[in-house]
A and B are shown apart, each in its own frame.
Chain A
């Protein structure tokens, strides 16, 4: 009997994993089950060029449309795995169909959080995760002139930028002291705030939302301090939670997502997880970590597939992500545990810089604005945990790769 590998969740991590199983020569049955009615696609354009109507959806597909059939990957798009029965090794779909598996990869990603305030379900109040969400925002924004963005994490900040570029007035409400504060820290967060201010976004920091008001459609946002902001459309970006319901009560260790080891294995034999949903024991970081980034979803999806095929390589990529807002390209690599005292190459005002965050002399994390080459160059230093010379790192005329401390 050939083996059956089921992949639950058919987007970047799941799709890449299914493709990798075939690419690496797996000859058994591969079943890729995804709740969205479309083939795996890239989410980054949803807050950027797709939202602005500059790029068609087809450009976002992770593989050409005929790839899945051509590789004999059985696709169940528009189908949800209701439950994984780890005892009998079956994936039970919404419609009751049970697929017996030898191994299963769970790559179910995230579900957006919503605000539990009055009016949160009014028409015109959106969140953004799927292409359907992006289409709905686009449709509402087309006839609108005033938008409110609630939450200026990456998705909120990118949506604010895109809506500005489409000519809408944008007011942003963010409870933290700066946009992208958790991911970029206070200093770079302030730079991002300045970029949005330059582009005419009116930002209320340290402000929360108490209610949305309107008839059928939202007309107003009421904030914690009592401001009333008139608007035609609202996008809420207040974070997302890992989708783990299909594994509830199955004995799989669930904590901040699905807990996996260096090889993307859960505590239950034959059950793996990857991507945004996986809380992974990262050898470089030294503890479990769950990230919500494109690169991790793709590489970890591939690594999980290889582990299912018996590879003993741990997954130890340096985490990395980007965000594009207007013409600002922000990239970040590694993991910052302390935002104090970065070493800056370039300068914050000129908006071309890298901030390096050191720990015990090595580069633990870095954030770059419009400086991708330098960021790329420091990744090998992060991976080797080499002790660096801060003066060389800060000197734009010294190649980042040669910023090692001399002993």
Chain B
């Protein structure tokens, strides 16, 4: 069972944007794409750059450092140098806040 963590007010992540939040020693990023929310590990599995500093193209995040691409629905690597997928988490907007369920 996931442990729910409140990340931020819902309006902190406008549509077509993403943002990273510290959770314990990790960084969790949230993206909003065409109204859909996605939460994922912000740290790229290649050389640890912050994915939230990169680019969103639909539900794909593109790492700012070496253009590694991850599918935000599954965490899977779609292109580029990253050796491993990223973790993705369920995220909800409730009571004006974004809440993510970590493993």
Main secondary structure of the interface of B (DSSP, over half): loop
For B64, give the chain A residue with the smallest CB separation: A372
A359 on interface, CB distance cutoff 8 Å = no
> A324–B55 contact, CB under 8 A?
no
Q: Does B65 have its Cβ within 8 Å of any Cβ on chain A?
A: yes
Interface size on B, residues (CB 8 A): 13
**B47-A49 in contact (CB<8A):** yes
Name A277-294 residues within 8 Å CB distance of B.
294
Whether A376 touches B81, Cβ cut-off 8 Å, given contacts A49-B47, A322-B65, A322-B66, is no
Bound together, the chains give a CA A152 to CA B71 distance in angstroms of 37
Residues of A within 8 A of B47 (CB): 49, 324
Contact residues, A18-59 vs B (CB, 8 A): 42, 44, 49, 59
Q: Is B14 an interface residue (CB 8 A)?
A: no
CB-CB under 8 A from A294, the residues of chain B are 81
* B101 interface contact, C-beta 8 A: no
Please, which residue of chain A has its CB at the minimum distance from the CB of B65? A329
Q: Determine if B63 is an interface residue (Cβ-Cβ < 8 Å).
A: yes
Determine the chain B residues whose CB is within 8 A of the CB of A59 once the complex forms.
83
Min Cβ gap B39→A in Å is: 20
Report which A residues bind B (CB closer than 8 A). 42, 44, 49, 59, 61, 294-295, 320, 322, 324, 329, 371-373, 376-377
Q: Across chains A and B, which 5 residue pairs bring their CB atoms closest together, nearest first?
A: A372-B64, A376-B55, A373-B55, A329-B65, A322-B66
Using CB atoms and an 8 Å cutoff, list the residues of chain B in contact with chain A.
47, 49, 53-55, 62-67, 81, 83
15 A–B pairs (Cβ distance < 8 Å), ordered by A: A42-B81, A59-B83, A295-B67, A322-B65, A329-B65, A372-B55, A372-B63, A372-B65, A373-B53, A373-B54, A373-B64, A376-B55, A376-B62, A376-B64, A377-B55
